[in-house]
Amino acid sequence: MVAIFLKTLPFFALIGLGYWAGRTRFFSAEATAYLTKFVFYFALSAMLFRFSANLSLAEVWDSRLVAAYLWGTAFVYAIASLVGFLRGLDVATNGIEAQCAVIGNTGFLGVPMLTLLLGPEAIGPVLLALTVDMIIFSSLIVILITGSREGQLRLATLKIVGLGLLKNPMIVAITLGFLWSGFGIPIPVPLNEFLAILGGAATPGALFAIGASLASKSAERIEIAGWLTFCKLVLHPLFVAFGALFLFGVDPYKAGVIIAAAALPVAGNVYMLAQHYGVAPQRVSAAILVSTTVSIVTVSLVVGWVSAL
C-alpha cells in the first residue's frame, strides 16, 4: 500500500503545485482558464486520439463492463437524488448534487494516472467509463436542468444536448481515433510523434490546471461537501465493484480499472455546468475541493486493493 501511495503521490504533488501557483496568484484565474483550454482541446485530445487510434473498438468494447459501471453509477445517482428530494431540493439543485456524487475526474486525472499505475491495458476500460459519463450522465444533467426550468422536455433541449456532445473534444477525439483504427489506416510516423509530443503535455498540464483551479474553490457548506465526497469516493466505487465483481462477472483486471475510475474525485466540469446554469456553484466548488483532498488517501487505498484482484 505504501508503494502505491508513493506512486500516486507525484500526481497529487503536481496538483498541489498548481494549487500553490493559483493561491499565491503566481498563476492568475485567466492563466488557469487558458491552460485548461489548452489541455482540454489540444493535449488531452491528442492523447485520447492516439490511444484510441492504436486500439480497435472490438478489443475495447465490453458490454459487461459498461453494464456494471452504468449500474453502479446509476445506483449511487439514485441514492444521492433520493437524499436530495428528502431534503427538499429542487430538481436542478438535486441533479447537480447527484452529478457530484458520480462524475469523477476521469479525463484529466484518471486517464494519465490509471494507465501508469495499472498498465497501458487500462486505457480501454477507462475510455469506456469516460464515454458513459459524458454521453449519459452529462446529457442527463442538461435535460434535468432545462426541463425543470421550462416545465417540459422540448426538442430544442435535445438539440442542445446533441450539439454539446458533438462539440466535446474528448468525445470527438475518441470517436475519430476508433474510426481511424476501424478503417485500418496506419498513423504516419511524423503524425504519431506529433501526437506523442502534444499528448505528453496532457498529464502535467491537466494536473497543474486541476490544482490551480482548486485555488479559487471554497469549502462552504462543508457538511454537504462531506456527504457528496462520501458518495463519490466510497459509495461509487463500492457499488461499481459490486456490479462488476458479483452481478455482471467482469474480468477482474477490467473490473479493477473501472472501480479505480469510480474512486476518482469530483470532476471540474461539474462546476462549469453549475456555474453556467447558475445552480449551486459554491456547493459544487466545496465538493471538488474536499473530494480531491481526501482522494489523496482513498485513491491509493482503492488502487492498492484492485491491484490485488
Q: What is the average pLDDT score of the chain?
A: 90
Question: Angle, nearest 10°, between helix axes 91-102 and 63-86?
Answer: 140
Cell of 158: 435535445
Query: What pLDDT, in 10s, does the model give residues 246-294?
Result: 999 999 999 999 999 999 999 988 888 888 788 888 889 899 999 999 9
Indicate the pLDDT class of residue 151, thresholds 50, 70 and 90.
low
- The CA distance from 187 to 178, in Å, is 12
- The CA distance from 268 to 211, in Å, is 11
Q: What's the rounded mean pLDDT across residues 43-69?
A: 90
Cell numbers 491495458 correspond to: 121
Report yes or no: 135 and 171 within 8 Å, Cβ to Cβ. Answer: yes
Q: How many CB atoms lie within 10 A of CB 105?
A: 26
Query: What pLDDT, in 10s, does the model give residues 63-97?
Result: 999 999 999 999 999 999 999 999 999 999 999 99
Q: Residue 228 pLDDT more than 90?
A: yes
Cell of 199: 499528448
* The predicted structure's pLDDT at residue 219: 67
Terminal-to-terminal C-alpha distance of the chain: 14
Q: Residue 303 pLDDT more than 90?
A: yes
Cell numbers 453556467 correspond to: 276
Cell numbers 489540444 correspond to: 42
Q: What's the rounded mean pLDDT across residues 212-219?
A: 82
* The predicted structure's pLDDT at residue 82: 97
* The predicted structure's pLDDT at residue 163: 78
Please tell me which residue, 202 or 80, carries the higher pLDDT value.
Answer: 80
Cell of 29: 484565474
* The predicted structure's pLDDT at residue 154: 67
Amino acid at 225: A
pTM: 0.89
